[in-house]
């Protein structure tokens, strides 16, 4: 067994920042990651990092834009922390040598982004995430932080007290991909989940193949509620054939969207009369699909994004990466012709419920980054707000896990944060029982931390051996059916019938998964085994997304319902929570916090 | 058991022949030429294909030290239905998900940024995800990166590559930060432009695998690590003292002077980083810096 003060699971932006922060507080930190850190999906982020750095801008404006963008489903204490800490964090990155794009005076450049009242998106070409990831990994190397790369964490070592709020996390269990060993990692201070997105739930996504929601699925099964899972962001500009992302930076720099008739539809059809192409992402994604559905698309599938008028020089200076992506993955030269684009799954606003210190309701278990829900993005994330989230909440989780006093958290978590009045709550779905055998991370209410980890290792070893030895279905068939059902029914446009159909398919997938088997008998680098474990995580995540979407009968942010075309603030200014209750998903709500440090955010009609 | 795959010589020969034109042409011209070539090839390939029932044959290297029947390296043939726009990675995923789930290779972002699927495809180092099947001669031969130990199938051990990367102190170092917490360092636009290409490295290891010198000298820093050193040595924010220190690192016995400018690294780099140029520039800087002390 390995032992460290703080174990960080995942080594993308949030994980790296958490590790550096914990190390700076004097903790012995280790990162356990299924990819080598530089392979993490943070590297694919393109657009930039929002931070109020300049005169005329301030954190309060950033917080206001974020709250409005969230469609009033973000929690003010978390949003304000994001806006307050971002400038210092971004300047810190600059001090670590990150190669930001520069103004003539040598200061870092900022550009406009959708939904922002000030051009506060700091960037490094159209490859900001790549530079962010590498700059932070360099700092990890500099500090000599231990990295267990190509170790796949597949189970948390958590005590099984009846009440999740009494449970403690003492470590994790990982599969050493190269050797095939199942290894225990004990964390004396805390485990920080930073496992990123879960876009592989869908079959058209900008997300990496590794983004399978491992962190949220493990935390969910260990008893931490997942929050606002119905809010999935579909990015308006992805390449139709692959889902590769074309940065919002293209529209930020002046790129224009045209429909099949050559009309600038954002204005022509009144989707966003002021902001046009720079309305927030949910608005643009729906506009594009509406054009396609009304017969004004191109090849009944996509619209055009044109940046030719920006001129070759400017494109090369600020968006060069886009030229390569469009050429390599779609065969289009965007200097000479418009790019075909359509919406694709991009980001998950929901995730592991945490407070603004990254803490979950299980003692010693933290989450940060896309896998977490603090919640800063509410029902719709603004472009450029994912990267500050990584560094701000990664750093806060790292510090807190290392023992720094960050004060009392204002965002309540866990089952005790339920809305008081639930008597008349009508959950319009009937959450079915799930297969539960051996899912809770530990049992016997063990108290010795090392025993909890050992016990979890034994349980995981048994599960893996079982999958390796038996004959049965290959996970790939199940995964494909799941992804297709989600894309067909739980996409940008949703209705009750479709959501129910998706739920049926998900439950069938869960049944079929009981017979899943790993065909590759090898212990060495068994990717068949990893993908099989991931597929189980995808099933759990897909189910929470669909349940949440079915329950929320209103239209808010990224969540659009055919039968419910209005935002219902009277009923729905609350977070959807789903908890694993002995194998049956327990759906409940907790109120949104609109009260900030100096002001109360008043829900307004969101127009751009 | 270590399986060193015999390095094919085609890549090197081609690379040397291209040296002159490579150096003379601008970045944009190179891009346009490559684009036209590719369009031609695609057109030809597509003309030869009927849309639906065409299959492409993959010959894939297989090896697993602990599985009987796979411990002797061999090639397996997979026939995969060809679809327009299909990449080598798409074809491998299809083969794995439909024919043999034990087929093992690294991949993640499938958009040329995670750097994990560098492979030896038809005798040349390329990223599987950004290589179109229609750009290749068929059948397509797929092997692990040469000059690295094979762990299983197409997966090679990257430890030596990572060690070399980390040996050049690959992190920003300066003692001269501006006072004031929210005050950033200034960097001239031209200076950022100078280091820009060097910062694009995705650690895929294609360059190192293609380098004959690295193949013969295990201690040679190799093109990727030297490029990483370049990225910092040329960054004006680090200051002159630190540049001196960095030049000392790359000037060591197994550093820049081992490079014989064969250009194979530059030729295979999927991010178009002018690696050979960077190495030459560091050689010049090292000479200049030594001259000062004479």
Query: What's the CA dihedral at A402, A405, A411, A415 to 10 degrees?
Result: 60
Comparing C-alpha atoms, which of A285, A245, A219, A175 is closest to residue A541?
A: A219
* Comparison of pLDDT for B18 and A112, the residue scoring more: A112
CB proximity A525 to B under 8 Å: yes
Residue B14 has pLDDT above 80, yes or no: no
| Helix and strand element counts for chain A (H, E) | 15, 21
H or E element at residue A340:
strand A339-348
Q: Is B113 close to A524, i.e. CB distance below 8 A?
A: no
CA–CA dist A100, A314 (Å, integer): 16
Give the dihedral sign, CA B273/B202/A245/A112.
negative
Give the pLDDT score at A425.
56
Instruction: Measure in Å the smallest separation between the Cα of B223 and chain A Cα atoms.
Output: 18
Instruction: Determine which of A88, A130, A205, A311 to mutate to test the interface with B (most B C-beta atoms within 10 Å).
Output: A130
CB proximity A505 to B under 8 Å: no
Helices of type H across A279-344: 281-293, 312-330
Q: How many CB atoms lie within 10 A of CB A9?
A: 30
Give the pLDDT score at B11.
35
CA–CA dist A67, A339 (Å, integer): 32
pLDDT-derived band at A584 (thresholds 50, 70, 90) equals confident
Residue A346 has pLDDT above 60, yes or no: yes
Instruction: Determine which of B41, B184, B234, B272 to mutate to test the interface with A (most A C-beta atoms within 10 Å).
Output: B184
pLDDT-derived band at A322 (thresholds 50, 70, 90) equals very high
Give tens-digit pLDDT for A548-566. Answer: 999 999 999 999 999 999 9
Q: Looking up tokens 């100078």, which residue turns up?
A: B194
Give the pLDDT score at A413.
96
Q: Is B107 close to A209, i.e. CB distance below 8 A?
A: yes
Q: Is B186 close to A108, i.e. CB distance below 8 A?
A: no
Full-model pTM: 0.93
Give the dihedral sign, CA A351/A355/A357/A361.
negative
Q: Is A44 close to B111, i.e. CB distance below 8 A?
A: yes
Could you say which of B85, B158, B183 has the minimum Cβ distance to residue A241?
B85
Q: Are A541 and A217 in contact (CB under 8 A)?
A: yes
Instruction: Measure in Å the smallest separation between the Cα of B211 and chain A Cα atoms.
Output: 22
Strands A584-591, A574-581: pairing is: antiparallel
Give the dihedral sign, CA B72/B74/B77/B82.
positive
The stretch B98-106 carries a mean pLDDT of 97
CA–CA dist A102, A100 (Å, integer): 6
> Which of A72-81, A500-509, A571-580 ranks highest by mean pLDDT?
A72-81
H or E element at residue A453:
helix A449-469
Interface of A with B in 473-492 (CB under 8 A): 474, 476, 480
Residue B17 has pLDDT above 70, yes or no: no
Q: Are B251 and B286 in contact (CB under 8 A)?
A: yes
DSSP-based three-state secondary structure for A278:
helix
Give the pLDDT score at B2.
38
CA–CA dist A92, A280 (Å, integer): 28
pLDDT-derived band at A437 (thresholds 50, 70, 90) equals low
Instruction: Measure in Å the smallest separation between the Cα of A418 and chain B Cα atoms.
Output: 38
Q: Looking up tokens 């093109």, which residue turns up?
A: B223
CB proximity A88 to B under 8 Å: yes
Give the pLDDT score at B22.
42
* Comparison of pLDDT for B44 and B185, the residue scoring more: B185
Q: Are A46 and A129 in contact (CB under 8 A)?
A: yes
Residue B10 has pLDDT above 90, yes or no: no
Q: Are A137 and A54 in contact (CB under 8 A)?
A: no
Angle at A15 between CA A11 and CA A19, to 5 degrees: 110
Instruction: Determine which of B94, B114, B116, B200 to mutate to test the interface with A (most A C-beta atoms within 10 Å).
Output: B114
Comparing C-alpha atoms, which of A365, A9, A7 is closest to residue A187?
A: A7
- Start-to-end CA span in chain B (Å): 50
Instruction: Measure in Å the smallest separation between the Cα of A87 and chain B Cα atoms.
Output: 7
CA–CA dist A111, A104 (Å, integer): 14
Comparing C-alpha atoms, which of A78, A73, A48, A49 is closest to residue A63?
A: A78
Instruction: Determine which of B67, B84, B165, B199 to mutate to test the interface with A (most A C-beta atoms within 10 Å).
Output: B199
Q: Is A127 close to B200, i.e. CB distance below 8 A?
A: yes
Give the pLDDT score at A448.
87
Give tens-digit pLDDT for B146-172. Answer: 999 999 999 999 999 999 999 999 999
Give the pLDDT score at B19.
36
pLDDT-derived band at B196 (thresholds 50, 70, 90) equals very high
Give the pLDDT score at B292.
63
Give tens-digit pLDDT for A401-431. Answer: 999 999 999 999 998 888 766 655 566 666 6
pLDDT-derived band at B50 (thresholds 50, 70, 90) equals very low
Give the phi and the psi of residue B119 in degrees, each rounded to 5: -135, 170
Residue B109's contacts (CB-CB under 8 Å, 6 or more residues apart) are A39, A41, A43, A44, A208, A209, B116, B129
How many contacts, defined by CB atoms under 8 Å, are there between A and B?
162
Interface of A with B in 359-418 (CB under 8 A): none
CB proximity A327 to B under 8 Å: yes
CA–CA dist A575, A229 (Å, integer): 9
Q: Is B186 close to A480, i.e. CB distance below 8 A?
A: no
Residue B38 has pLDDT above 90, yes or no: no
Residue A321 has pLDDT above 60, yes or no: yes
Range name among B2-6, B173-177, B208-212 with the lowest pLDDT average: B2-6
Least CA distance to A103: which residue of chain B?
Answer: B189
* Most distant pair of Cα atoms in chain B: their distance: 71
Residue A395 has pLDDT above 90, yes or no: yes
Instruction: Measure in Å the smallest separation between the Cα of A412 and chain B Cα atoms.
Output: 31
Comparing C-alpha atoms, which of B288, B232, B290, B282 is closest to residue B258?
A: B282
Q: Are A378 and A72 in contact (CB under 8 A)?
A: yes
b/e per residue B236-245 (b: at least 16 CB within 10 A) = bbbeeebbee
Give the pLDDT score at B26.
55
Comparing C-alpha atoms, which of A252, A281, A278, A247 is closest to residue A264?
A: A278
Residue A262's contacts (CB-CB under 8 Å, 6 or more residues apart) are none
Residue A436 has pLDDT above 70, yes or no: no
CB proximity A208 to B under 8 Å: yes
CA–CA dist B197, B206 (Å, integer): 16
Q: Are A382 and A113 in contact (CB under 8 A)?
A: yes
Give the pLDDT score at A99.
98
* Catalytic residue annotation of A: 281
Q: Is A87 close to B182, i.e. CB distance below 8 A?
A: yes
Give the pLDDT score at A383.
93
Chain A partners within 8 Å of B152 (Cβ): 522, 524-525
Give the pLDDT score at A442.
45
Q: Which residues pair with A302 in a beta bridge?
A: A298
Give tens-digit pLDDT for A247-282. Answer: 999 999 999 999 999 999 999 999 999 999 999 889
Give the pLDDT score at A123.
97
CA–CA dist A280, A285 (Å, integer): 9
Instruction: Determine which of B33, B109, B202 to mutate to test the interface with A (most A C-beta atoms within 10 Å).
Output: B109
Comparing C-alpha atoms, which of A376, A375, A356 is closest to residue A366?
A: A356
Residue B15 has pLDDT above 70, yes or no: no
The two structure tokens encoding residue A250:
């293209």
- Start-to-end CA span in chain A (Å): 54
Q: Is B189 close to A39, i.e. CB distance below 8 A?
A: no
Chain B partners within 8 Å of A244 (Cβ): 110-111
The stretch A114-141 carries a mean pLDDT of 96
Q: Is the peptide bond before B220 cis (omega within 30 degrees of 0)?
A: no
Interface of A with B in 133-152 (CB under 8 A): 134-135, 138-139, 141-142
Give the pLDDT score at B29.
58
Residue A101 has pLDDT above 60, yes or no: yes
Give the pLDDT score at A431.
63
Q: Which residues pair with B81 in a beta bridge?
A: B55
Give tens-digit pLDDT for B222-265. Answer: 999 999 999 999 999 999 999 999 999 999 999 999 999 999 99
Give the dihedral sign, CA A461/A463/A467/A469.
positive
Comparing C-alpha atoms, which of A4, A6, A5, A16 is closest to residue A369?
A: A16
Secondary structure string (H, E, C) spanning chain B:
CCCCCCCCCHHHHHHHHHHHHHHHCCHHHHHHHHHHHHHHHHHHHHHHCCCCCCEEEEEEEECCCCCCCCCCCEEEEEEEECCCCCEHHHHHHHHHHHCCCCCCCCCCCCCCCCCCCEEEECCEEEEHHHCEHHHCCCCEEEECCCCCCEEECCEECCHHHHHHHHCCCCCCCCCCCCCCCCCCCCCCHHHHHHHHHHHHCCCCCHHHHHCHHHHHCCCCCHHHHHHHHHHHHCCHHHCHHHHHHHHHHHCCCCCHHHCCCCCHHHHHCCCCCCHHHHHHHHHHHHHHHHHCCC
CA–CA dist A280, A278 (Å, integer): 6
Chain B partners within 8 Å of A522 (Cβ): 64, 66-67, 70, 102, 152
Percent of chain A with pLDDT over 90: 89
Q: Is B182 close to A91, i.e. CB distance below 8 A?
A: yes
CB proximity A99 to B under 8 Å: yes
Strands A256-258, A303-306: pairing is: antiparallel
Give the pLDDT score at B9.
35
Comparing C-alpha atoms, which of B24, B63, B214, B259 is closest to residue B150?
A: B63
b/e per residue A75-105 (b: at least 16 CB within 10 A) = bbbbbbbbbbbbbebbbbbbbbbbbbbbeee
Comparing C-alpha atoms, which of B160, B167, B170 is closest to residue B198?
A: B170
Residue A254's contacts (CB-CB under 8 Å, 6 or more residues apart) are A307, A309, A310
Q: Looking up tokens 């090369």, which residue turns up?
A: A316
Could you say which of B101, B112, B169 has the minimum Cβ distance to residue A474?
B101
Give the pLDDT score at B45.
52
């Amino acid at each position: 067994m390995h032992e460290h003060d703080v174990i960080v699971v995942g080594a993308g932006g949030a994980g790296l920042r958490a590790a550096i922060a914990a190390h700076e507080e004097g903790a012995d930190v280790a990162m356990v990651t299924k990819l080598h850190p530089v392979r993490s999906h943070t590297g694919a982020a393109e657009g930039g990092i929002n931070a109020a750095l300049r005169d005329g801008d301030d954190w309060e404006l950033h917080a206001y834009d974020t709250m409005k963008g969230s469609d009033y489903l973000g929690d003010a204490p978390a949003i304000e922390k994001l806006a307050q800490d971002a400038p210092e964090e971004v300047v810190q990155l600059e001090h670590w040598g990150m190669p930001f794009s520069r103004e003539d005076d040598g200061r870092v450049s900022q550009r406009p982004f959708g939904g922002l009242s000030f051009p506060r998106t700091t960037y490094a070409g159209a490859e900001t995430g790549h530079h962010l990831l590498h700059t932070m990994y360099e700092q990890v190397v500099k500090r000599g932080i231990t990295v267990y790369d190509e170790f796949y964490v597949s189970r948390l070592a958590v005590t099984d007290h009846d009440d999740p709020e009494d449970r403690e996390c003492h470590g994790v269990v990982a599969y050493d991909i190269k050797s095939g060993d199942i290894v225990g990692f004990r964390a004396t201070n805390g485990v920080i989940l930073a496992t990123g997105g879960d876009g592989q739930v869908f079959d058209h996504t900008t997300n990496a193949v590794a983004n399978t929601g491992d962190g949220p699925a493990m935390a969910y099964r260990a008893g931490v509620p997942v929050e606002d899972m119905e809010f999935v962001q579909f990015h308006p500009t992805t390449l139709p054939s692959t889902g590769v992302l074309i940065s919002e930076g293209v529209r930020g720099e002046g790129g224009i969207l045209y429909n099949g008739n050559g009309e600038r539809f954002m204005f022509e059809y009144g989707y966003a009369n002021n902001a046009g192409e720079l309305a927030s992402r949910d608005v643009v994604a729906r506009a594009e699909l509406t054009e396609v559905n009304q017969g004004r698309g191109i090849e009944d599938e996509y619209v055009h994004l044109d940046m030719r008028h920006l001129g070759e020089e400017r494109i090369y200076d600020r968006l060069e990466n886009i030229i390569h992506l469009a050429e390599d993955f779609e065969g289009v030269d965007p200097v000479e012709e418009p790019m075909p684009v359509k919406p694709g799954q991009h980001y998950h606003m929901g995730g592991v419920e945490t407070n603004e210190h990254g803490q979950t309701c299980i003692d010693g278990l933290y989450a940060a980054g896309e896998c977490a829900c603090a919640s800063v993005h509410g029902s719709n994330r603004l472009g450029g707000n994912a990267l500050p989230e990584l560094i701000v909440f990664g750093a806060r989780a790292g510090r807190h896990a290392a023992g720094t006093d960050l004060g009392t958290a204002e965002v309540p978590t866990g089952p005790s944060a339920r809305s008081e009045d639930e008597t008349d709550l009508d959950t319009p779905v009937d959450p079915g029982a799930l297969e539960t055998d051996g899912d809770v991370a530990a049992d016997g209410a063990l108290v010795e931390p090392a025993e909890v980890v050992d016990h979890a290792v034994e349980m995981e070893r048994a599960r893996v051996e079982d999958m390796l030895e038996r004959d049965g279905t290959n996970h790939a068939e199940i995964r494909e059916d799941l992804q297709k059902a989600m894309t067909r029914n739980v996409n940008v446009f949703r209705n009750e019938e479709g959501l129910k159909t998706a739920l049926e398919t998900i439950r069938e997938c869960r049944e079929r998964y009981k017979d899943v088997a790993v065909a590759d008998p090898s212990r060495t680098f068994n990717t068949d085994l990893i993908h099989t474990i991931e597929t189980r995580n995808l099933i759990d995540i897909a189910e929470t997304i669909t349940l949440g979407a079915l329950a929320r009968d209103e239209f808010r942010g990224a969540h659009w319902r055919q039968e419910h075309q209005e935002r219902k603030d009277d009923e729905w200014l609350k977070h959807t929570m789903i908890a694993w209750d002995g194998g049956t998903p327990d759906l409940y709500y907790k109120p949104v916090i609109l009260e900030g440090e100096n002001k109360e955010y008043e829900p307004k009609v969101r127009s751009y | 058991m270590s399986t060193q795959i015999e390095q094919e010589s085609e890549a090197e020969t081609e690379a040397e022949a291209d040296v002159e034109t490579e150096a003379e042409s601008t970045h944009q011209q190179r891009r346009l030429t490559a684009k036209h070539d590719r369009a031609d090839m695609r057109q030809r390939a597509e003309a030869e294909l009927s849309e639906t029932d065409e299959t492409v044959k993959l010959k894939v290297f297989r090896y697993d030290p602990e599985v009987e029947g796979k411990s002797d390296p061999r090639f397996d043939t997979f026939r995969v239905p060809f679809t327009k726009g299909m990449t080598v990675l798409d074809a491998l995923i299809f083969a794995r998900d439909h024919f043999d789930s034990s087929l093992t290779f690294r991949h993640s972002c499938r958009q040329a940024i995670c750097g994990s699927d560098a492979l030896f495809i038809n005798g040349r180092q390329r990223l599987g995800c950004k290589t179109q099947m229609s750009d290749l001669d068929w059948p397509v031969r797929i092997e692990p990166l040469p000059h690295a130990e094979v762990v299983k199938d197409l997966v090679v051990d990257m430890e030596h590559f990572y060690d070399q990367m980390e040996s050049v102190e690959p992190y920003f170092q300066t003692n001269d930060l501006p006072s004031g917490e929210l005050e950033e360092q200034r960097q001239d636009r031209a200076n950022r432009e100078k280091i820009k290409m060097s910062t694009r490295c995705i650690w895929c290891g294609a360059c190192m695998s293609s380098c004959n010198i690295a193949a013969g000298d295990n201690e040679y820093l190799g093109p990727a690590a030297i490029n990483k050193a370049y990225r910092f040595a040329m960054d004006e924010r680090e200051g002159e003292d630190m540049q001196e220190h960095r030049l000392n690192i790359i000037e060591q016995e197994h550093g820049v002077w081992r490079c014989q400018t064969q250009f194979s690294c530059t030729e295979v780099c999927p991010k178009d980083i002018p690696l050979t140029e960077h190495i030459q520039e560091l050689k010049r800087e090292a000479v200049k810096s030594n001259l000062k002390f004479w």
